[in-house]
Structures are given as C-alpha cells and as structure tokens.
Amino acid sequence: MTASDVTFLLFGYRFHFSSERQLQDGIAKVLGPTFEREVVLDRHNRPDFFESESGTLVEVKTKGSAADLLRQVRRYAEFPQVKEIAVATTRMLHTSQLPAEINSKPVETVKLWTL
C-alpha cells in the first residue's frame, strides 16, 4: 500500500479517542495486519506503523510542533527501507507544514476526522 493509498483510506474514517495510543489502535484496525506497529528502525527511531513489503511508514500525531514533526519525518526518510511516508494527524498545521518529498521519498499527509 502506498502512502497515498493510506491517506486516502484514513480520510474516509472518523475516529473517537482520548489519547494518541487510542487513535493508533483505531488506525491499526483500518490498516490491517500488514502494517506492523512500533517497528524498530534503530534505537532512536520507532515509527507508529510500517509495512515492510511496500516500505510505507505511517506516523500518527495528535500534538507537537510542525518543526518537531518535520525533524522526525526527515530522520525516517534517511532509512533505505523506508520508501514512502504517510502522516496522519489531527492538526491542520501539520498538514500544511510538511513538504511533498523528503530525500526523494514521497510524503503524504491527512487531517483526520475526529468525533
């Protein structure tokens, strides 16, 4: 599944949660079993979801600055096994501050609908 597929899929759902972990649980149900949770890329980098077959990484954010998110996504984009990145966020600021590509890897963002 591509990053674009992920963002398109997640856009169609509404999520009810009180913590980022609960939101991740809901997203895990939508993405299905091919996306592993908390995959260790190295001792400092553990994205929320990763599908090793396609190289698609999914990061979920409910808070934090756009600058912090950008730094995190840039780190992930340095790993050769990461081919594409999808960011699922509840913050409009996050969707407008990320570039469409980092290290020649597509970056897609989706603003999630919440209840």
What confidence tens digit (pLDDT) does each residue in 19-55 have?
Answer: 999 999 999 999 999 999 999 999 999 999 999 999 9
Lowest mean pLDDT among 6-10, 29-33, 90-94, 107-111: 90-94
76 phi-psi bin (left φ>0, alpha ψ -120 to 50, beta other): alpha
Two tokens, residue 6: 């992920």
Give me the residue label for tokens 């980092």: 102
Sheet-wide strand order for 101-102: 36-37, 49-51, 56-61, 84-89, 105-111, 101-102
Q: Residue 92's pLDDT is what?
A: 85
Mean pLDDT of the chain: 94
| Cα-Cα-Cα-Cα dihedral sign, residues 81, 53, 49, 98 | positive
Taking the model in full, what pTM does it have?
Answer: 0.94
In a 10 Å sphere around its CB, with 0-12 CB exposed, 13-18 middle and 19+ buried, how is residue 4 labelled?
middle
Q: Residue 25's pLDDT is what?
A: 97
